[in-house]
Structure 1
């Protein structure tokens, strides 16, 4: 079998099950399960990345008695007990057969082969009757031999007994193969896989989670806004609780940028019965924003009701009519290309039977129709002449009821319900009656006994095969199981569809070519029966048809509102008169009317009225109306955001409507301290607020696991520490780790962390240097710029750990300096001093992460740090990153506590990192580094 076919997981698992059935020996089962576990991608891609972890090493370890017994112990269940019993049963059956074979002096296999050949020869040569005579004669001969007690009977008896016990052995072997498959599956899943995973982690040594081996399945990281990757967080649960305890209201969602507020709003709108998300403009105008909101509301509601929002003035009326006509003509042509030929063929096939039926019942049907027509005529004449007063009164009442039902069409609705109730039953009865008529047809009943049993069996077998193939095709359509052979892709559903078509065609051919069944198919009434079956089926399906309901009033109202908001309507009326005499005397008058766009107060009132009616209709359907306004924090300062809330306050507070507004943290803080010391617009605009906190380390691991199968707990810790728990940065760093791995071709966390941290530090310091370049500097104050230049230069030329000595020395010197220790700090501006302190604090944080993640034994050192102090927790690293956005001084204090918990040096010293660098091997040069640059000298 080609190796490309074995790469298919479903085919590979099927081959493994077949191998387990063929070779059910205990050692063979264990060997196959071990090799299957080694070939699985999650662990196969980790093998060989560290010394002593190759597939040969793992296979050798798994054959040790310790791991073998551990695997057997974890898979010790009913499947193993059944397997052991099947092994014992097979051994007993084979022992009985061997004992019977040993008693005979003949070879029982040769005797059985000769008897079978003789029986088959007699059957083929002389027929069944001769075989029966031969068997009777043989039985009589065996009885004579038994009666005389000769050795021939003794040997023949044990040969036949051994052959009979061979059937028992075959059954026991099949049972053992089945039990081996069941136990092998359990042994693989519950025994070998967990034991092998634990053993591989043991072979990897310290920090097995620091090995990062991607396989290119992180589609969720490459598309951060792709649907289907949302992970429930505490903020989502809090929002759902607030929505469930409020009938309507305005809820603000605040938090730092990139924390996931937009994702939270998108998830809430998807879960609502009717909801949409709209972006707040960066430079807003209240009137324009409300117009955009109104347009979005109308379009979303029209689509929610199953209609299409009107396209306004994109084409001229003539082009729109031509486009719609072209689309309708194409749809009608496609429908007609199937409907007309099908109807013509149906009429052609049933025409002969229908004409004979019409000729048979024409006279009686005509008499019945004339009789009914005379009765109706006499009845109308009696009502017209006043001879049927009660009937006249009844007719008048019916006319009044019909007129009154114009607002509530209960009469057509009742008739429609009766048609639904009776039409389906009528169609089913007609279809079943058409089929049942074949059973009661005397001619068919006379011809049915002439159909041979083998013909019926073959037809039933073909029909069952067709139905089974068709059902399998329908079942496989959703699974998309396929096989790639070169450039061709062969789908299992297509194979089953082709098989069903072939079996159905051959079934029809078989029925037509068989004389007895052809006579049944050639009955003159069969076309009429098929026509009745088709007509009954169509009636049953037509009973469920409903005319498209009239367009709801609210949908029409939304369309009219869209026309008013998006178009300018102009009406021109012209009146002219004249007198056609010898001299013409006339006049002309023209009037032009143009609609004015609604002003802001009118637009607010129309929006509230329309939204109120929509919410009332949807509330009756138990559907929640939710409008999310995002990116309010983009407006700039908190004063601008509060001004925006003050402008749109008029549209808030609509019954049965929820508003979710994404605001900055400043606005959220103003709402939290409401009334202290004064009130602002948040008190009257917002009903509640949700603070979206940065995700925890546990949530970060869950998010990365959801979006990628490659990240380990250690890479998740690195991304979480650098991002501070902000969702946007977390996904960016997760993808950046994969990019660095693809660039450096290294799998160790120490090298990946070094590249990532230094890359981020280089970009951040470059940004600070650009900001510092805008400040005023003198000869005495330019020393700090030289430090920036030196450190940025080392970051640019640092390619591997071999040359990190001078880089780390410069980084330590710059990062460990306390705020305000530079001699020139007294001569620079406050803004420049703030930027310098922020850059130094960030370098201090980067140096701390560099020392933590590049040293070996991360798990061991994490336990020691946590035992030393609570500042040794992994969560504190992300908190330190968030603290940098608040104040560099408080962040430096927190980082100092972290360094003490992790036993890191708090003063500049190159000797702190040199032992770490000596233990690291360079991924580029495959050698030990020279942190002091001694080799170059």
Structure 2
């Protein structure tokens, strides 16, 4: 059971604090801190993967004098340590004084004190406080007689009592030391052991400690890219907030490549706005349908913003709707009566006797007062009616006119309501306190109170305090979801506390009822009336906070009517029939049917602008901002279609106090930036400003992955960022693929994961290029290009591990280093085929560069060397090369050539790339290299990094 409790994550910190209190010595506190740091899941999962970084080695090193001194030096002289040292010295002094007093007596002081306390407690419980006082005086007299006759009784007894008093002081010092040890242990763990141990683990891991990828669980943020709550501040978000803060209204275009995060930016802006919504543009060009959808969404969201549900249109017959409504009302009434009727019946039964007594006591006085008041009112009305009170008549007329004039502004009910809300709760609390306070002024209760014995009062107080603690514990644990699994049963701490509170409360009532003295207090005839006053005061205080539901605003009603017009077809039929009930009947019948016509596009635009203007003005008076996001405009196809869509919906833009955010493609943003050069288009008059969403930087990529997953390291973030080019959608996809590859291969080293991921992406990309090349025209002279494609794709399919990467690396290098001047100069191929081949070769060149950089040991050291070579050695340049591939394969190849020079990589296909470096690493599938030499087991720390390739003439 104790081991199962220790494995509970929510219970581990509390167990550690209890251990600090139980064993407060310096060595034990340090031991517990080291064990807790090693048991941390994020730290424990990094151990036992590389041979030098194991739990046994870390534990041994942390107990060496060097690291112990480093931990205490790291913490320094904190106030927790000073208090802990002082408590330790005080406890030692208290124990030494207590031991000195115990050595002076010939009696066992513990047994003597127990023999004194046990009879005293028995006498107090059985005979009361007076008997205990008599017994103590008798014992003191006997002790004085023995001291007078010269015996050693008083000396030994005095030493025993002194030892007991000093023992209490030592126990208090022990509690103080445990209390100080808790704070000192937390400080030592957080500020001393953890940073020193983390530094040691990174040192023991050897080179590139961040290249170790050890996932610990499911990454919800990566598995659900659209899940809310994972947005992080970026440069585009800050730029958008600045533009919104400097504009009262306007239309802002958000442009950028696909997958860069435009939709995330729009959704984040809508969440931050006081009233915001995001709608999707239609995939096919249909502005009328889009505007209908936008109008419906606007009405529904505004009604929900104001706290009113959107109307549900009838899908059943009126009879079925009536049955459903009746069924719901019957269920609600049945539930209410199940609790209300028994509670009311029991309350009336309990208070009936006291109410009748109160009624009999004050019946005559109340009746006389009522009769006097009625006669006074009658006399006043008679005087006014007969004209004997002229001034009163004038006042009555003025009051009547004022009351009629207040029909549009009911200030009188509102004033009464405010008075009720302000003083109703105070009146209820006053009534409840008066009901409770009447207990202290009841002479009968004051007469019976001294009969309650001390032990009875102590037991009742103990039970009441225990019930209060259990009840408060059940309420505090309600949000912690603390539970204990016992076999197939799951026991929640909240349920246990509630059960214990119920049992203790029930036993408290039983104890009070069964005890004669307390039963007499409960049997006071005025208690039901007091309890009724307490309940009435509580209900009155609660009713004071009730407010009637305000009337539905006219704007909400207008939204409902607009929804009905957009989403329903209303038909009205009028029938008129005339007839005479005679033997021969002559009559006529006439029917008229009227059906509403759906609004056309101009009418829909006008109604939408009027409704949006009224909504914006209403919210602007509350200092609230309206924001409408239109997403996926770039899905329309070409830039001409997107511009035509903007031209159609231009009529709904430019509404006062309304911000529009429209996500567009980069070419539409470029048309706006040109500002009419060489000609003007719809963007000049439709858009007020534009925001370019750039690809995320490496720092932002690390922050995004850290936000969505606790497993990714800076090196895995570099891998995902380089392959994705900084595009958010691809970044999340590659982050999830890294976890999938780790689960599939079982390896934790970045080199193995990067190799699998890069080659997998390369195989899929080349397969796509080969499919496109199959649609081109080929001749006998140019067929070797397809042969190279087939050979390289075949190597990618058959290469299972690094032991067989020789032919793959050679084929990849041959294909990646080719240029149009060397391989395609004399081939008879079309320009489109030549373009596809150049793009495939450039992407292979990019993949080869990533392989050489990310799968070679010593990434941290080599990245520092590359950074010192110039700007092309920065790690962000890898993502820049990936983005450049989307623009031109030729400019991307030039950029990658500069990157390879900064990283001291080969510039030709005839050198054995990656050979010497990769052979230092263990193969994830085999234990030996291609030459038959034994390799270390998986996860071994690599040896010294391979020396860099000599800088050739291309430097």
TM-score range, shorter chain: over 0.9
Once the two structures are TM-superposed, the CA of residue 318 in structure 1 deviates from its matched residue by 2.2
Once the two structures are TM-superposed, the CA of residue 461 in structure 1 deviates from its matched residue by 2.5
Once the two structures are TM-superposed, the CA of residue 92 in structure 1 deviates from its matched residue by 3.7
SS of equivalent to 1:545: coil
Residues 1:812 and 2:817 are matched in the alignment: no
Pairs aligned (count) = 925
Residues 1:685 and 2:686 are matched in the alignment: yes
Residues 1:113 and 2:111 are matched in the alignment: yes
**CA deviation vs aligned residue, 1:742-796 (integer Å, no higher than 9, x gap):** 0000000000000010111111111111222222222222221111111111111
Q: 2:138 aligns with which of 122, 133, 141?
A: 133
- Do the aligned residues in 1 keep the contact of 2:262 with 2:663 (CA within 8 Å)? yes
SS of equivalent to 1:694: coil
**CA deviation vs aligned residue, 1:390-416 (integer Å, no higher than 9, x gap):** 444433333333333333222322222
Partner of 1:417: 418
- Do the aligned residues in 2 keep the contact of 1:353 with 1:525 (CA within 8 Å)? yes
- Which has the higher mean CA deviation after the structures are superposed, 364-373 or 217-226? 364-373
Once the two structures are TM-superposed, the CA of residue 426 in structure 1 deviates from its matched residue by 3.0
Partner of 2:947: none
Change (3 A) 1:727 1:139: farther
Partner of 2:944: none
**CA deviation vs aligned residue, 1:158-211 (integer Å, no higher than 9, x gap):** 777666554444444333333333222211111111111100110110000001
CA distance in 1, matches of 2:220, 2:501: 38
Once the two structures are TM-superposed, the CA of residue 238 in structure 1 deviates from its matched residue by 1.3
- Which has the higher mean CA deviation after the structures are superposed, 678-687 or 423-432? 423-432
Matches within 5 A, 1:181-192: 181-192=182-193
Partner of 1:463: 464
- Do the aligned residues in 1 keep the contact of 2:813 with 2:848 (CA within 8 Å)? yes
Change (3 A) 1:155 1:379: closer
Partner of 1:12: 12
Matches within 5 A, 1:493-892: 493-581=494-582, 583-823=584-824, 826-892=827-893
Change (3 A) 1:782 1:546: same
Change (3 A) 1:753 1:139: farther
Change (3 A) 1:479 1:154: closer
Change (3 A) 1:16 1:347: same
- Which has the higher mean CA deviation after the structures are superposed, 441-450 or 135-144? 135-144
CA distance in 2, matches of 1:124, 1:288: 90
**CA deviation vs aligned residue, 1:242-282 (integer Å, no higher than 9, x gap):** 11111111111111111111111111111111111110011
- Do the aligned residues in 1 keep the contact of 2:431 with 2:533 (CA within 8 Å)? yes
Once the two structures are TM-superposed, the CA of residue 12 in structure 1 deviates from its matched residue by 2.5
- Do the aligned residues in 2 keep the contact of 1:427 with 1:535 (CA within 8 Å)? yes
Change (3 A) 1:170 1:450: closer
- Do the aligned residues in 1 keep the contact of 2:767 with 2:793 (CA within 8 Å)? yes
CA distance in 2, matches of 1:169, 1:415: 65
Once the two structures are TM-superposed, the CA of residue 93 in structure 1 deviates from its matched residue by 4.0
Matches within 5 A, 1:215-294: 215-294=216-295
Residues 1:59 and 2:59 are matched in the alignment: yes
CA distance in 1, matches of 2:405, 2:746: 82
**CA deviation vs aligned residue, 1:280-337 (integer Å, no higher than 9, x gap):** 0110211111000000001111111111111113222222222222222212221221
- Do the aligned residues in 2 keep the contact of 1:642 with 1:682 (CA within 8 Å)? yes
**CA deviation vs aligned residue, 1:411-455 (integer Å, no higher than 9, x gap):** 322222232234333323322222233332232232223222332
Partner of 2:903: 902
SS of equivalent to 2:579: strand
Partner of 1:71: 71
CA distance in 2, matches of 1:430, 1:157: 57
Once the two structures are TM-superposed, the CA of residue 737 in structure 1 deviates from its matched residue by 0.5
CA distance in 2, matches of 1:774, 1:386: 111
Once the two structures are TM-superposed, the CA of residue 593 in structure 1 deviates from its matched residue by 1.1
Change (3 A) 1:370 1:24: closer
**CA deviation vs aligned residue, 1:470-500 (integer Å, no higher than 9, x gap):** 2222222122222222222222222222222
Change (3 A) 1:583 1:23: closer
Matches within 5 A, 1:394-409: 394-409=395-410
CA distance in 1, matches of 2:350, 2:452: 26
- Which has the higher mean CA deviation after the structures are superposed, 349-358 or 694-703? 349-358
Once the two structures are TM-superposed, the CA of residue 561 in structure 1 deviates from its matched residue by 0.4
- Which has the higher mean CA deviation after the structures are superposed, 1-10 or 564-573? 1-10
**CA deviation vs aligned residue, 1:610-656 (integer Å, no higher than 9, x gap):** 11111111111111111111101111111111111111010011111
CA distance in 2, matches of 1:113, 1:501: 40
**CA deviation vs aligned residue, 1:483-539 (integer Å, no higher than 9, x gap):** 222222222222222222222212211221121221121122221222222222222
CA distance in 1, matches of 2:59, 2:247: 61
CA distance in 2, matches of 1:65, 1:929: 46
Show structure 1 runs of 5+ residues with no match. Answer: 933-937
- Do the aligned residues in 2 keep the contact of 1:918 with 1:929 (CA within 8 Å)? no
Partner of 1:935: none
- Which has the higher mean CA deviation after the structures are superposed, 817-826 or 848-857? 817-826
Matches within 5 A, 1:305-344: 305-344=306-345
CA distance in 2, matches of 1:95, 1:540: 60
Change (3 A) 1:192 1:429: closer
SS of equivalent to 1:253: strand
- Do the aligned residues in 2 keep the contact of 1:921 with 1:929 (CA within 8 Å)? no
CA distance in 1, matches of 2:773, 2:866: 37
Change (3 A) 1:115 1:594: closer
Change (3 A) 1:180 1:544: closer
Matches within 5 A, 1:909-920: 909-920=910-921
Partner of 2:353: 352
Aligned-residue CA RMSD (Å): 2.4
- Do the aligned residues in 2 keep the contact of 1:917 with 1:929 (CA within 8 Å)? no
**CA deviation vs aligned residue, 1:681-735 (integer Å, no higher than 9, x gap):** 1111111111111111111111111111111111111111111111111111111
CA distance in 2, matches of 1:159, 1:387: 97
- Do the aligned residues in 1 keep the contact of 2:781 with 2:827 (CA within 8 Å)? no
CA distance in 2, matches of 1:735, 1:676: 44
- Do the aligned residues in 1 keep the contact of 2:799 with 2:808 (CA within 8 Å)? yes
Show structure 2 runs of 5+ residues with no match. Answer: 934-955
CA distance in 2, matches of 1:540, 1:90: 53
Once the two structures are TM-superposed, the CA of residue 137 in structure 1 deviates from its matched residue by 2.9
CA distance in 1, matches of 2:106, 2:772: 100
Partner of 2:948: none
CA distance in 1, matches of 2:55, 2:848: 38
- Do the aligned residues in 1 keep the contact of 2:53 with 2:204 (CA within 8 Å)? yes
SS of equivalent to 1:827: coil
Once the two structures are TM-superposed, the CA of residue 373 in structure 1 deviates from its matched residue by 2.5
Once the two structures are TM-superposed, the CA of residue 95 in structure 1 deviates from its matched residue by 4.4
SS of equivalent to 1:572: strand
- Do the aligned residues in 1 keep the contact of 2:275 with 2:625 (CA within 8 Å)? yes
SS of equivalent to 2:820: coil
- Which has the higher mean CA deviation after the structures are superposed, 67-76 or 364-373? 364-373
- Which has the higher mean CA deviation after the structures are superposed, 445-454 or 348-357? 445-454
